[in-house]
Amino acid sequence: MHEMSLAQSVREIIEQAALEQGFSRVKTVWLEIGRLSCVEQEAMRFCFTAAMQGSVAEAARLEIIDTPGRGLCRKCGHEAEIENVYDACPRCGNYGLQLVAGDAMRVKELEVA
Amino acid sequence: MCLTCGCGSDEVLIRGRKPLNKPKAPVSFKLHRVEAKVAEDSQRIVKLEQDILHKNDQHAQANRDYFARHGVLALNLVSSPGSGKTTLLVRTLQTLTGRYPLAVIEGDQQTEQDADRIRATGVSAVQINTGKGCHLDAQMVERALAELPCPDGGMLFIENVGNLVCPAGFDLGEFAKVVVLSVTEGEDKPLKYPDMFRAAELMLLNKCDLLPYLSFDVEQAEAYARRVNPDIRIIRLSAVSGEGMDEWTSWLEAQRPQAS
């Protein structure tokens, strides 16, 4: 479950920000997790709780901003929302859409005290 | 959200999603004023916009710089457990020994068996045991490189933990990921594990010597892989019979100038 190592990376990012920006408690963490990234949201929630133990973000609320996938057809140039990386272009049926959004994994913002 | 001070539990500003369309919260004004004061005193929003894999990517870049300095072609071999990666690697090393400097980093949760198999060919190998970890990351590889004689001007093979899911997201600083799919696994693996096949530049279809005994549909497997990744190169081979090994070693040799 790679979500655990990703959650530990989130912890490191938060702890580093706490040092640099001088806060001692995080109330809310906003993560952007694209639907086509390699993260399972439920696994991330589970790992997040475990990984934040003993950190400034212990007991912080996790908000996941779930961004839809978007693919660009290399054949006809149409851009559309997609559910899977292997979806066909809804306009021309071509496979192999270029992923233009929805694979991000980012710590967006923190609400701190 | 409170229109007076911007406080409240529904943080539309932070989400950044449809900020103008949120309904105005019909909450008690008096109560909200109290909350607002606390918020002004002690709470704030810190914008980070930092990629979760940022640190891994920094280590990956350090590895990539190292490979570039030493002219090393580094490849990240990924597959499910039991696809024949180590057997394929042993055979590959036997073919290339004496032609190029070679080295191997082996990743497994436990045991040093794979590194021992590699060392039996005379090639230097470092074993990384990830313990409970399900993939290698760039920092592990960086530490392993410090233990390994550098194959200057040659090739480094990193055999990842057998897992078609987790290693897909972690850049190790390699020139390319090479995914090994064996014909005993089922032709639909590229659709079931699309991230891995999308991340790979080359797919090696291994154990092709067993095709006469199986109902595996090679054309379908390749079509699925190309559906996920239209640019993927595919080589059919067998590490046991040697079929396709020449094409694989030619591919390796062709990548070398691009890496250095």
C-alpha A108/C-alpha B49 separation (Å) is 4
A109–B45 CB contact, under 8 Å: yes
Q: How many domains does chain B have?
A: 2
C-alpha A38/C-alpha B191 separation (Å) is 14
Phi-psi region of A106 (alpha: psi -120 to 50; beta: other; left: phi over 0): beta
Identity at A39, one-letter amino acid code: V
pLDDT at B14 over 90: no
Q: How far is B217 from chain A (nearest CA, A)?
A: 19
| B11 and B84 together in one domain | no
| B207 and B250 together in one domain | yes
Residues whose CB falls within 8 Å of the CB of residue A48, separated by 6 or more in sequence, listed in order: A7, A10, A29, A62
Q: How far is A31 from chain B (nearest CA, A)?
A: 9
- The structure tokens 């080359």 sit at B202
> Average pLDDT, stretch B7-20?
28
Query: Which residue range(s) make up the domain with B22?
Result: 1-49
Q: What percent of chain B has pLDDT over 70?
A: 82
B46–A85 CB contact, under 8 Å: no
C-alpha B77/C-alpha B162 separation (Å) is 9
pLDDT at B12 over 80: no
CATH assignment at residue B244: 3.40.50.300
What 3-state class would DSSP assign to B103? strand
What is the distance of C-alpha B197 from the center of its chain? 10
* pLDDT at B256 (0 to 100): 86
* pLDDT at B258 (0 to 100): 58
| B120 and B8 together in one domain | no
C-alpha A101/C-alpha A69 separation (Å) is 5
Which one of B13, B52, B136 makes the best mutation probe of the A interface by having the most chain A beta carbons within 10 Å?
B52
**Confidence class of residue B132 from pLDDT cuts 50, 70 and 90?**
confident
pLDDT at A65 over 70: yes
**Confidence class of residue B33 from pLDDT cuts 50, 70 and 90?**
very low
* pLDDT at B232 (0 to 100): 97
Query: Is residue B79 within 8 Å of residue B165, measured between CB atoms?
Result: no
| B122 and B71 together in one domain | yes
| B20 and B98 together in one domain | no
> Average pLDDT, stretch B108-112?
90
B52–A110 CB contact, under 8 Å: no
pLDDT in tens, B184-227: 999 999 999 999 999 999 999 999 999 999 999 999 999 999 99
- Tell whether the torsion through CA atoms of A43, B202, B255 and B130 is positive or negative: positive
* pLDDT at B237 (0 to 100): 98
C-alpha B110/C-alpha B118 separation (Å) is 16
pLDDT at B75 over 70: yes
Beta bridge partners of B209: none
pLDDT at B7 over 80: no
| B90 and B25 together in one domain | no
* pLDDT at A55 (0 to 100): 97
pLDDT in tens, A33-55: 999 998 999 999 999 999 999 99
* pLDDT at A73 (0 to 100): 95
| B72 and B120 together in one domain | yes
DSSP state of B168: G
* pLDDT at B43 (0 to 100): 82
Three-state secondary structure readout of B175-216: CEEEEEEECCCCCCHHHHCHHHHHHCCEEEEECHHHHHHCCC
> Average pLDDT, stretch A66-75?
95
pLDDT at B37 over 80: no
| B118 and B25 together in one domain | no
C-alpha B173/C-alpha B67 separation (Å) is 8
> Average pLDDT, stretch B106-129?
93
Half-sphere CA count of B10, side-chain side, radius 13 A: 15
| Domain end point (choices B31, B49, B67) | B49
Query: Is residue B34 within 8 Å of residue B43, measured between CB atoms?
Result: no
β pairing state of B73-79 and B124-129: unpaired
CATH assignment, A3-112: 3.30.2320.80
| Domain end point (choices B33, B49, B65) | B49
Query: Is residue B234 within 8 Å of residue B203, measured between CB atoms?
Result: yes
A13–B54 CB contact, under 8 Å: yes
Average pLDDT, chain A: 95
Query: Is residue B93 within 8 Å of residue B102, measured between CB atoms?
Result: yes
Whether A83 and chain B come into contact, CB under 8 Å, resolves to no
| B24 and B118 together in one domain | no
The token duo for B148 is 């390994």
| B12 and B76 together in one domain | no
pLDDT at A63 over 80: yes
Query: Is residue B73 within 8 Å of residue B259, measured between CB atoms?
Result: yes
Query: Is residue B170 within 8 Å of residue B53, measured between CB atoms?
Result: yes
C-alpha B18/C-alpha B6 separation (Å) is 16
ipTM of the prediction: 0.90
pLDDT at B88 over 90: yes
What 3-state class would DSSP assign to B126? strand
pLDDT at B79 over 90: yes
Q: How far is A13 from chain B (nearest CA, A)?
A: 8
Higher pLDDT, B34 or B136: B136
> Average pLDDT, stretch B22-33?
39
Q: What percent of chain B has pLDDT over 90?
A: 77
| B67 and B20 together in one domain | no
